[in-house]
Amino acid sequence: MTEAKRRIVILTEGLSNPINAKTAVSVIRYRTEEVVAVLDSTVPPQTTQRLFNVGGNIPVVPTLAHVPAADTLLIGIAPQGGKLPQAMRAAVLQAIQRGMEIQNGLHEFLSDDPEFAAAARQHNARLVDLRRNDEHDVARRQNLRPDCLRVHTVGNDCCVGKMVVAIEVTHGLKAHGVDAKFLATGQTGILIEGHGCPVDAVVSDFVNGAVEKLVLAHQHHEVLLIEGQGSLIHPAYSAVTMGLLHGCAPHALILCYEMGRTHVNGLDHIPLLPLDQLIALYHTVANVAHPCRFIGVAINSRRVSDAQYREERARVERELNLPACDIFRDSAAPLVEAVQSLRTASCN
Amino acid sequence: MTEAKRRIVILTEGLSNPINAKTAVSVIRYRTEEVVAVLDSTVPPQTTQRLFNVGGNIPVVPTLAHVPAADTLLIGIAPQGGKLPQAMRAAVLQAIQRGMEIQNGLHEFLSDDPEFAAAARQHNARLVDLRRNDEHDVARRQNLRPDCLRVHTVGNDCCVGKMVVAIEVTHGLKAHGVDAKFLATGQTGILIEGHGCPVDAVVSDFVNGAVEKLVLAHQHHEVLLIEGQGSLIHPAYSAVTMGLLHGCAPHALILCYEMGRTHVNGLDHIPLLPLDQLIALYHTVANVAHPCRFIGVAINSRRVSDAQYREERARVERELNLPACDIFRDSAAPLVEAVQSLRTASCN
């Protein structure tokens, strides 16, 4: 990850919706100054503000030729299974032929693709496969500093806001002078933060260990906000969630969920659990690793009206006895305060 | 995996104890007719019966030269982290130079080692890395046959007998005419059964999917006995255990534990949970995937007297209200009967 400012085009070809393009949306949100355009030939030219509700006047362009100054192509999607869609190959190849750096967070590695690898050699283009790793450490649950507070965002499903909540709470704590640090555990977080651990691409025997190593390397900070992945009830990804939860052995959890979602994303035959049952499940499983409790709820209310959100927030606060908020509709302040309260309680 | 009878030497150099050499012990137990010797220059020549309490007159030899007829060298250990001990390199290289096939279940792949790979090419030796896989399917929890009974062995720790219990219950069911099938999920099980899924070497996003695929491929059988791995309370391996548990979505669980063990193997600062709490934890987590209950307890009593075992068995049966047995000291009959009872109940 270079420190010099990049000029990034984000490729979302044919998949410019909030679920598939969540990597694009978050990179636009947190790396705004580096993003010069979004590339999707299947939607009319417009701003990313119009397309994704973020990014202001950043343009959505139909071809790479529209952004001659761009030096980096970033694959802006996060599909189940992590394969590169066929429709994206042409744009990736063009970018390679222009000598651009390609940032790829998919499970499918571009540097393993003979056509891309050959083109990259020929045109001196750099292929960065963010998920490539060689983690081989096993967790031992030792040497965790008790005075570094570990807060972990968990959810009832994928794509509910676990990463953005961790980032926004980190920002909120920093604004209050707390030495807080966001720990990225997925491709998008790593793109935003510049480093982290791609836990879902680590060999399963070493997931807990890779996460523990990440925590041990950063526990000189006062508070760690550790990005969650998947959910304990996800048919496909519960192993990832479990390794992350036990690897980071959190003191505190923040529950993230999206209003209106009733079933696992993409698996309409798998109903989600009621929040109280979900909290009980996470509480039981987390406490195997370390004494841990929920300190707040992050409501993703993007699909509902303000009135519906206000009603939901009141209900959640009342029924679960936890502070709750939509970090974008309101702010992360209630969650920041919850972390601060826990710090105060720990010091006394 | 060839069908022709192999002549196997099992390498346990310097690690001929029940925990480290568990792969050796189980291969000797279930592939007795194929094992010609155990290779360990650090122990006196003796029989494997004396060294491991299994295998009859199979000799333990100090050098490969003692077994000129052997055509296969099997790495007989399962260390934490899965690396090849330095002390084993010489014997592996000698075997390669003899043109033998090397069966390796470690995380460290022999075919990635430049010295071994070059020697194998030169001497036409086959390097089989059992854990190498390219699993890339995500689980969907669909198309599971309700009339195929899925029974999963789980434990309070590593090395407590989850694999042997699954095998012995499979054998017991077959002896009663039931079409039962053992599904191997680890290196030793795969060596014994000839196929399976090395779940702990699968990339974490695909663990649940790899296990589900294994189940879907074998659900034409009446009963599947799915080998467990690690434990939900293991600091290092809980992600593996979770992916396996949710990927196979069992109807029934058998709890395996070793008498006298108080802490996680190799992690003396991590106490094990009392059995009733452990059962509650597994029950909660398993029922996320599929309605599931415990049907029996497998007691590993290798370290205690017969009287101590009898007392423990009575206590466990009384307190947990489940049939219990040591499958080797007694037999797996109580567990076989428990599976049969469940089948009868399901049919009515």
Amino acid at residue number B183: L
φ, ψ of residue B113 to 5 degrees: the values are -90, 120
Q: Is the ipTM of this complex over 0.90?
A: yes
Whether B74 and B9 have beta carbons less than 8 Å apart is answered as yes
| Predicted confidence band of residue A18 (pLDDT cuts 50, 70, 90) | confident
Q: Indicate whether B347 pLDDT > 70.
A: no
Select the residue from B205, B264, B265, B267 to test the A interface by mutation, using most A Cβ atoms within 10 A.
B205
Q: Indicate whether B175 pLDDT > 60.
A: yes
pLDDT of residue A2: 46
pLDDT of residue A3: 58
Q: Indicate whether A337 pLDDT > 70.
A: yes
pLDDT of residue B230: 97
| Predicted confidence band of residue A130 (pLDDT cuts 50, 70, 90) | very high
Amino acid at residue number B199: V
Q: Identify the residue with better confidence: B78 or B91.
A: B91
Count Cβ atoms below 10 Å from residue B21 Cβ, excluding itself. 24
> What average pLDDT does the segment B284-290 reach?
98
φ, ψ of residue B270 to 5 degrees: the values are -110, 100
Q: Indicate whether B43 pLDDT > 80.
A: yes
For the domain covering B8-129, report its CATH number: 3.40.50.720
B139 vs A: CB within 8 A: yes
A113: three-class secondary structure by DSSP? coil
For residue A246 the two structure tokens come to: 């036990």
Count Cβ atoms below 10 Å from residue A10 Cβ, excluding itself. 33
A82 vs B: CB within 8 A: yes
A48: three-class secondary structure by DSSP? helix
Domain B149-347 classification at class level: alpha beta
Show me where the domains of chain B are located: 8-129, 149-347
Closest among B14, B169, B5, B179 to B86, alpha carbons compared: B14
| Chain B 222-281, residues with CB within 8 Å of chain A CB atoms | 232-233, 235-244, 246-247, 267, 269-270, 273, 281
Task: Please tell me the distance from the alpha carbon of residue A30 to that of residue A34, in angstroms, as a whole number.
Answer: 9
Q: Indicate whether A5 pLDDT > 90.
A: no
End-to-end CA distance of chain A: 41
pLDDT of residue B1: 46
B211 vs A: CB within 8 A: no
Count Cβ atoms below 10 Å from residue B134 Cβ, excluding itself. 7
A79 vs B: CB within 8 A: no
> What average pLDDT does the segment A118-128 reach?
98
Task: State the pTM of this model.
Answer: 0.95
Each residue's pLDDT tens digit, A225-276 = 999 999 999 999 999 999 999 999 999 999 999 999 999 999 999 999 999 9
Q: Identify the residue with better confidence: B18 or B90.
A: B90
Count Cβ atoms below 10 Å from residue A275 Cβ, excluding itself. 18
Amino acid at residue number B256: C
Count Cβ atoms below 10 Å from residue A179 Cβ, excluding itself. 11
Q: How many CA atoms lie within 13 A of A25 on its CB side?
A: 18
Contacts of B93 (CB under 8 A, 6+ apart): B115, B116, B119
DSSP secondary structure string for all residues of A200-218: GGSBGGGHHHHHHHHHHHH
Strands A72-75, A59-61: pairing is unpaired
Query: Do the chains contact at B203 and A201, CB–CB below 8 Å?
Result: yes
Each residue's pLDDT tens digit, B321-337 = 999 999 999 999 999 99
> What average pLDDT does the segment B88-117 reach?
97
Each residue's pLDDT tens digit, A56-87 = 999 999 999 999 999 999 999 988 788 999 99
Q: Indicate whether A1 pLDDT > 80.
A: no
List the A46-47 sheet strands across, edge first. Answer: A46-47, A59-61, A35-39, A8-11, A72-75, A101-104, A127-129
Whether B247 and B152 have beta carbons less than 8 Å apart is answered as no
Each residue's pLDDT tens digit, B201-244 = 999 999 999 999 999 999 999 999 999 999 999 999 999 999 99
Same topology, domains B8-129 and B149-347? Answer is yes
pLDDT of residue B19: 83
A39: three-class secondary structure by DSSP? strand
Alpha helices, DSSP H only, in A147-206?
A: 162-175, 187-193
Closest among B17, B21, B15, B48 to B32, alpha carbons compared: B48
The pairs formed by B216-222 with CB atoms below 8 angstroms and a separation of 24 or more are: B216/B143, B216/B144, B218/B181, B218/B183, B219/B144, B219/B145, B219/B148, B220/B148, B221/B148, B221/B179, B221/B180, B221/B181, B222/B147, B222/B148, B222/B149, B222/B178, B222/B179, B222/B180, B222/B343
| Chain A 287-326, residues with CB within 8 Å of chain B CB atoms | 288-289
Query: Do the chains contact at B200 and A204, CB–CB below 8 Å?
Result: yes
Q: What share of chain A is helix, strand, coil (3-state, %, to 5)?
A: 40, 20, 40
Each residue's pLDDT tens digit, A256-267 = 999 999 999 999
Q: Indicate whether A326 pLDDT > 60.
A: yes
Task: Please tell me the distance from the alpha carbon of residue A161 to that of residue A223, in angstroms, as a whole number.
Answer: 20
Each residue's pLDDT tens digit, A36-45 = 999 999 999 9
Query: Do the chains contact at A204 and B207, CB–CB below 8 Å?
Result: yes
For residue A116 the two structure tokens come to: 């891309």
Q: How far is A245 from chain B (nearest CA, A)?
A: 9
